[in-house]
Structure 1
């Protein structure tokens, strides 16, 4: 189904010897939950194929790596410090650009609490080494790289750090990350840090003075700012203080599902009013709705339509936040790190799903987002905006 003609079969770290240079883990098949496609008629199928070929599709938040078949082995897998990018699965997708957040919240190489500077650099360096040995992913540092990937049947790979805790109180580490090719940095990842408060906190004091200096530095160097895991006041402060547009790379509308993980209307509006983008996510049991009381592509798209109606089609996109493996199982393994208990939908009773139907992995997400938009009669112009055009508008303002 994919259009990635440049993929020639490269496997992650294939320049090394398994069992000698690294510990071997058995990975889950990338499509372990099956391959679900939204049904379309013949005309709709043809339109999907045309749009996938013509339009640039950007995933604003993903973890496009393989996870162990025995998901409980993930802790040891991550301690080994070498995640395996699922090149073959990505080649089947419609994506032209993927924002890869790497280990991030599960980066526990040297500490069970995660987020250590040395571990983040280790993770980034390993991935850059692997990417240097292949010619399918383009390390994306500018908008032109996205256009080139689209034209050449490749994928532009954007290195992201989901939270700024690793910079500690060192502004220059923002420059270092940028110099190493990172192009998006989150303010917090649920826990508070020197910049501001995370969504775990009962009280949110907003952006700190150091946080304001960090925002200013990110604006200067051209680092895209993400506020997805911030407390509401901290995120609101960033939206107001930043001179350039920001994004919420993977969130939803709290008006539809009362979880601390999702955003109130006023925060969504504040981001949009400064020219930013709100990308809708589908990590298990987040973007549910009272309408459906479950989690699947239709509940996720209910959040998408709500946000589009609230702030306009020019300010919404997708950051599905999926991976290749058992995502629900991963949340159970890393419950404390992933802030699951702290964002448990205010004790609302709901049935846990084994996977998010239609959006379980990055490849399936790329297929079904486009199919859903076509099936529901969105125009070519609006589809182009939400799958990539809105993001490119922001990137041109920030990365330049």
Structure 2
């Protein structure tokens, strides 16, 4: 299902302009291609050609990813992240079919100065180190506007939109939002599961809602032109962010709680409110999240059960995909950082554990699988174009 390597990609490997072992520590990294068996949707040649055409002719956008390469030995993950030199998966992205990717870095796991993550200094390490490497090649380009995304598409490049999953590192310093904007960040989450000074996180038993500082932060993001994400916010906080924002907001990576009843998924009330104000929900695919009773073993089929439900609930104009994937053992990431974050003790439906999500294993595979599934299920070209990027563009026209 993968695309051919983009012609503009010339083989750059992260930090190759420096001297390994002297300037930075070397880790054996996971394979960008072929780490798991190829996923076969059983498409005919004509269907495969249609997928290729749709991705070639249109701006395909992943609303939420972490397109870094993890160590092959996941036990080295903390040591790898402590160096702040996470490697961008250029070769993998060059086969993705994407025109743009919302890259949320690994700020919560970049434990350079603290084992607990989400510190301001660690965030700057994660952001600055990755973007310094991006600046040394010309296939992936930092995008801060829709014009940048369109230009990247025309030039055969991939646009990277810098985003962060939460505002926890700003602490009570509102001007840090401006600083992040100056660094090129164009999307920010409110809270990452745990509550912070802006609002409630989804893992908390009680959600106090959007704080006074949180309302000021929403206003500041609106004024600057930063897209707001409520994926990891609690239900009350999510509703109050939607109401407070003067422009639509994103749920960049989640699913429907009516399909899989866990706090990580969004209830119908939040999804409807987001859509009624013009927003978009990107469907999540990180391991053991967007499951369904019909497909409790996590796979593309599970993910698409959330898609069909959401389309029926709010219409196809408000649904996209934010797979939330990376190159390497994503299950191992969750296990490594399991103790870093508070976990909701409310019961989760029983389900099989999988080593990876078949069909949605990494950013190179995900949008191809989604487009292939939509083609196989006879969605129109117009509908597919909306889902793979058009809906996101409509929101960004209002936000940016």
Structure 1 length-normalised TM: 0.97
Partner Cα separation in structure 2 for residue 353 and residue 146 of structure 1? 35
> 5 Å matches for 1:12-51?
12-30=14-32, 31-51=34-54
Match of 2:198 in 1: 195
- Tell me how far 1:367 sits from its aligned partner: 1.5
Partner Cα separation in structure 2 for residue 343 and residue 287 of structure 1? 18
Distance change (3 Å), C-alpha of 1:307 and 1:212: same
Match of 1:366 in 2: 367
> 5 Å matches for 1:1-400?
1-2=3-4, 4-30=6-32, 31-337=34-340, 341-342=343-344, 346-399=347-400
Partner Cα separation in structure 2 for residue 117 and residue 381 of structure 1? 42
* 1:174–1:217 Cα contact (<8 Å) kept: yes
Post-superposition CA distance 1:220-279 (Å, at most 9, x none)? 000100000001100110011100110000000000111110000010000001100000
Post-superposition CA distance 1:316-375 (Å, at most 9, x none)? 000000000011111111113355x4277x242211011100000000112111111100
* 1:3–1:153 Cα contact (<8 Å) kept: no
* 1:106–1:338 Cα contact (<8 Å) kept: no
- How many residues are matched? 397
Structure 2 length-normalised TM: 0.97
Partner Cα separation in structure 2 for residue 272 and residue 231 of structure 1? 17
- Tell me how far 1:149 sits from its aligned partner: 1.3
Partner Cα separation in structure 2 for residue 54 and residue 95 of structure 1? 11
Partner Cα separation in structure 2 for residue 3 and residue 325 of structure 1? 19
The SS at the match of 1:357 is: coil
Unaligned runs of 5+ in 2: none
Distance change (3 Å), C-alpha of 1:246 and 1:343: farther
- Tell me how far 1:39 sits from its aligned partner: 1.4
* 1:60–1:249 Cα contact (<8 Å) kept: yes
The SS at the match of 1:104 is: coil
- Tell me how far 1:104 sits from its aligned partner: 2.4
The SS at the match of 1:99 is: strand
122-131 or 178-187: bigger deviation:
122-131
- Tell me how far 1:135 sits from its aligned partner: 0.4
- Tell me how far 1:158 sits from its aligned partner: 0.7
RMSD, aligned CA: 1.1
Partner Cα separation in structure 1 for residue 62 and residue 295 of structure 2? 25
The SS at the match of 1:10 is: coil
Partner Cα separation in structure 1 for residue 31 and residue 90 of structure 2? 13
Unaligned runs of 5+ in 1: none
The SS at the match of 2:344 is: helix
* 1:105–1:338 Cα contact (<8 Å) kept: no
* 2:135–2:141 Cα contact (<8 Å) kept: no
- Tell me how far 1:157 sits from its aligned partner: 0.4
